[in-house]
Homo-oligomer: A and B are copies of this chain.
């Protein structure tokens, strides 16, 4: 049950051709994955990836190759082994210089950590979210790298939170399996879409059962006001409409621009400024209240999330499955969010991020937060067809994954077709 080899594949989808995914900072993304398969000596496989938007995906692949030396020869069966692996991947003393715990090397660690958890969950014959709920509070706490966290949360406090979470766990697990977890959709709101398309997709979203949608903003204020007004008119006052500036603004501009959208009742303003700017977010939030502030998809690690919570910078924490170092670091982030009582509303979309992150939110509900109040998982309706166990959303709710593993596995034909630069999709264009 030892990992004997690691395959790394550069997969890119030409999403820039249709402006799917276009926003104020990312005008033409090609949704991509630095994709990894762990092979074990008994024929097992673990699949994982990190998400990028095109150029540089090859560098993430190279980083995964370099980090693979920490995986080969390892037995990744069980939480203790997974914790060891995570720490080896993020604390290689020479590689740490390139971060620490951020950027390309951290994205690469995410791919490998997630693949290792996929393997462990498959071994257990459970979908990852359910596998996580079988771990004891002690095992979960031991999965976390506690370095740099103790001024906000100690292992002892985390243990107490998780023990508290044992109450009602069976009921919540049954509820997840029955009803799933609420979603919101960003599909109507890409910046490259026409007003007509936004309105049509917004109406369809409501008809499909969503209670929240999201619009991209930040390129042109008059465009934003016009699109927001149209979307609000289309869905009425009871549907939450979040807006997302994708880091476009400085502090003052974020406040002014968002206030100019206030009449259309934004539910949150997402990424108003740099993801690095803890104090900037805190200032924006203080000046914009009661409009809420959300961020997280680009927040590099648990240390930054800790500070966003300590400084009162956010109303919603937007965990990403593959930006921080995979499942282990996200366990720390879920525990921090619980301590500070801030709802986790994960970032998803891209390619495969929906498939991954819903596992973490479902575990969060069963074992940590024990509530779905104001919690929603982002959903974007593209590229799911490439996965063996794609996300299923019904009536505006993520359905609980049932296949063993982390739902990360892509179809072999997709990997071949979209391999960059030599797959047929890229050779012919």
Q: Is A93 an interface residue (CB 8 A)?
A: yes
Instruction: Please measure, in the bound complex, the distance between the C-alpha atom of A120 and the C-alpha atom of B95, giving whole angstroms.
Output: 32
**Known contacts being A102-B276, A103-B103, is A151 close to B97, with CB within 8 Å?**
no
Is the CB–CB distance between B56 and A98 below 8 Å? Answer: yes
> Could you tell me the distance in whole angstroms from the C-beta of A378 to the nearest C-beta in chain B?
16
Q: Is A106 an interface residue (CB 8 A)?
A: yes
Tell me which of B53, B96, B278, B310 contacts A97 (CB under 8 A).
Answer: B53
Closest to A297 in B: B97
Instruction: Please measure, in the bound complex, the distance between the C-alpha atom of A52 and the C-alpha atom of B92, giving whole angstroms.
Output: 13
The stretch of A123-131, A228-236, A247-255, A415-423 in contact with B is: A247-255
A30 cross-chain contacts in B, Cβ below 8 A? 94
Instruction: Please measure, in the bound complex, the distance between the C-alpha atom of A276 and the C-alpha atom of B99, giving whole angstroms.
Output: 10
Is the CB–CB distance between B280 and A59 below 8 Å? Answer: no
**Known contacts being A66-B58, A94-B54, A100-B298, is A148 close to B26, with CB within 8 Å?**
no
> Could you tell me the distance in whole angstroms from the C-beta of A131 to the nearest C-beta in chain B?
30
**Known contacts being A62-B58, A283-B151, is A247 close to B95, with CB within 8 Å?**
no
> Could you tell me the distance in whole angstroms from the C-beta of A37 to the nearest C-beta in chain B?
21
Q: Mark A261-290, 1 if CB is under 8 A from B, else 0.
A: 000000000000111111110010000000
Instruction: Please measure, in the bound complex, the distance between the C-alpha atom of A344 and the C-alpha atom of B253, giving whole angstroms.
Output: 30
Number of copies: 2
Tell me which of B25, B55, B107, B150 contacts A251 (CB under 8 A).
Answer: B150
Q: Which of A104, A107, A247 has the most CB of B within 10 A?
A: A104
Q: Which size class do A's interface residues fall under?
A: 35 or more
Is the CB–CB distance between B252 and A150 below 8 Å? Answer: yes
Tell me which of B53, B63, B250 contacts A148 (CB under 8 A).
Answer: B250
Is the CB–CB distance between B276 and A105 below 8 Å? Answer: no
The stretch of A208-216, A301-309, A381-389 in contact with B is: A301-309
> Could you tell me the distance in whole angstroms from the C-beta of A107 to the nearest C-beta in chain B?
7
A372 cross-chain contacts in B, Cβ below 8 A? none
Closest to A101 in B: B276
Is the CB–CB distance between B103 and A98 below 8 Å? Answer: yes
**Known contacts being A148-B250, A151-B283, A311-B279, is A25 close to B56, with CB within 8 Å?**
no
**Can you sample 27 A-B contacts with CB below 8 Å?**
A25-B93, A25-B96, A26-B94, A29-B94, A29-B97, A30-B94, A52-B94, A53-B97, A55-B92, A56-B63, A58-B62, A59-B63, A59-B105, A63-B104, A98-B103, A99-B103, A101-B276, A102-B102, A102-B276, A102-B300, A147-B250, A147-B274, A148-B273, A148-B277, A278-B278, A278-B279, A279-B307
Closest 8 CB pairs of A and B: A103-B103, A54-B94, A104-B104, A151-B251, A55-B94, A276-B303, A150-B250, A148-B274
